[in-house]
Structure 1
Amino acid sequence: MGLNEFILGLNNLEKITRAPGFFKFTEHTVAAHSYRVASIAQVLGDIEENQGVSIDWKTLYEKSLNHDYTERFIGDIKTPVKYASKELRGMLQTVEEKMTDEFINQEIPEAFQEIYRRRLFEGKDESVEGEILAVADKVDLLYESFEEIIKNNPESVYKEMFVESIHTIKEYGHRPSVQYFFQEIFPELLNRDFYGREVFLESVYKIID
């Protein structure tokens, strides 16, 4: 028993399509998403630190890099299915946690098991690093969905993803990085020309205001 299976699992993440069946113009994998979330978390951490917030960078990188690793066990479930009911969501989480625990017990050397339990279980907690992860995860989804919107994909699910991401990010409005995001980064993102832009922006700014 070594760390071989953990490393092999990284290849699996390259093959798992993110939000399967949704993205049409650009496919996204779980592995690519994990890298982007880690990079976005780094940006948000820089902003927080610039505002005097103490960041545990090791914890932040661990949380963001590994936050979706366990999807190698059950894949990325379509959001409408995953959130159909609290009961179903709870059941999926229970299955994922049991499979993760079994994986750690069987494939991770005992000397490293506690480390991987910390890394592979839910990282979105009430710590600064946990909140930054939660924001970074939704910022990436916001950018993913916006890419489909500006390419005039007519399916309404992308606007729903975009709006849902805004709502979730705004829940962390007490974080300096979120305030900075909406003041400095978000307006630049929206400064693109695409069909239906005025109507779309009107609905978006109503949410932000």
Structure 2
Amino acid sequence: MSHSFFAYIARMRYISRWGLMRNTDPENVQEHSHMVAVLAHALAVIRRDKFGGTIDPGHVAAVALYHDAPEIFTGDLPTPVKYANDTIQAAYKAVEANAAARLTAMLPPEMQPAFAALLSEPDPEVQTLVKAADKLSAHLKCLEELKAGNREFQSAAQQTLEALESYHLPELDYFLQEFLPAFSLTLDELPG
């Protein structure tokens, strides 16, 4: 029997993000998931190495890498729709849980527990870092679009920055202070 889990994961590149917005550079779920994993790993390293946390950055990165995998079946629902009200949000969470279970079932039985844990991480500390990285990735996308002259992302950039600031996470605040300014620079302006 052939298992299709990874063939489906590879299809994340066909799912477009920011469906309601005009993009100068389209982004897909696979690209987004990679960036979220990079950022979540960075936040976890900062938490561990600068602020004395005990979280495993590798585990956080793995959870982040698969955080949007259920969208293989659900598609990327725009944020204004997904969070329009509690009823829609709860229904979408149930649909995502069903999609995660469907994906997990596509693995050999001995691999299912490891991937089920990644697709529905129970640790709130890990969840918080992944959510912060997800929002940070969205903010970086907005900055890229604004750099390209696309004012369509102006409001989203402000909203995502306010959301990031509302987390009150020391590692996120540190990232915003130490690393975020470089994202507004051109290639020629980047030190290095």
Short-chain TM bin: 0.7 to 0.9
- Superposition pairs of residues 59-138 of structure 1, within 5 angstroms: 59-105=59-105, 107-121=106-120, 123=121, 125-127=123-125, 129-138=126-135
Q: Which residue of 2 aligns with 1:203?
A: none
* Structure 1 pair 11–190 and aligned structure 2 pair: CA distance change class (3 A): closer
Amino acid at match of 2:31: A
Aligned counterpart for 1:183 among listed residues 153, 177, 182: 177
The amino acid of 1:112's aligned partner reads: M
DSSP-derived class of the 1:111 partner: coil
* Residue identity matched to 2:96: E
Higher deviation after alignment, 16-25 or 182-191: 182-191
Q: 7-16 or 48-57: which moved more?
A: 48-57
In the alignment, is the contact (CA less than 8 A) between 1:124 and 1:134 conserved in 2?
Answer: no
Instruction: State the SS of the aligned residue for 1:152.
Output: coil
1:206 aligned partner: none
Alignment-derived partner of residue 45 in structure 1: 44
What is the TM-score with the length of structure 2 in the denominator?
A: 0.85
* C-alpha contact (below 8 Å) 1:124/1:131 kept by paired residues: no
Query: How far apart are the structure 2 equivalents of 1:135 and 1:38?
Result: 11
* Per-residue CA distance 1:170-206 (angstroms, 9 max, x = gap): 2332x331221232223444567xxxxxxxxxxxxxx
> Cα 1:80–1:176, aligned 2, differ >3 Å: closer, same or farther?
closer
Query: What TM-score, normalized to structure 1?
Result: 0.78
Q: What is the rounded CA distance, in whole Å, between the counterparts of 1:85 and 1:40 in structure 2? A: 28
List alignment gaps of at least 5 residues for structure 1: 193-209
Is contact 1:145–1:162 with CA below 8 Å preserved after alignment? Answer: yes
Structure showing greater radius of gyration is 1
- Provide the C-alpha distance between the structure 1 equivalents of 2:61 and 2:78, rounded to a whole number of angstroms: 26
CA distance in 2, matches of 1:124, 1:168: 22
Q: Distance between the aligned counterparts of 1:57 and 1:187, measured in 2?
A: 23
Asked whether the 8 Å contact 2:69–2:100 carries over to 1, the reply is no
The aligned counterpart of 2:54 is 54
Contact 2:5 2:104 in 1 (8 A): no
Alpha-carbon deviations, 1:6-42, whole Å to 9, x = none? 1101221011111224242101010011111111122
- Tell me the matched-pair count: 185
Paired AA for residue 181 in structure 1: F
Residue 160 (str. 1) matches residue 160 (str. 2): no
RMSD: 2.1
- Residue by residue, what CA displacement relative to the aligned partner does 1:19-75 show, whole Å, maximum 9, x if unpaired? 224242101010011111111122222222221222213421221111111110111
Matches of 1:179 and 1:95, distance apart in 2: 33
Amino acid at match of 1:57: P
For the residues of structure 2 that align with 1:185 and 1:160, how far apart are their CA atoms?
Answer: 22
Shift in Å, 1:124: 8.1
* AA in 2 matched with 1:171: S
Contact 2:132 2:164 in 1 (8 A): yes
1:159–1:65 distance in 2 versus 1, CA, 3 Å: same
For 1:38 and 1:17, how far apart are their aligned partners in 2? Answer: 18
> Is the CA contact (8 Å cut-off) linking 2:36 and 2:64 kept in structure 1?
yes
User: Percent identity, aligned pairs only?
Assistant: 26
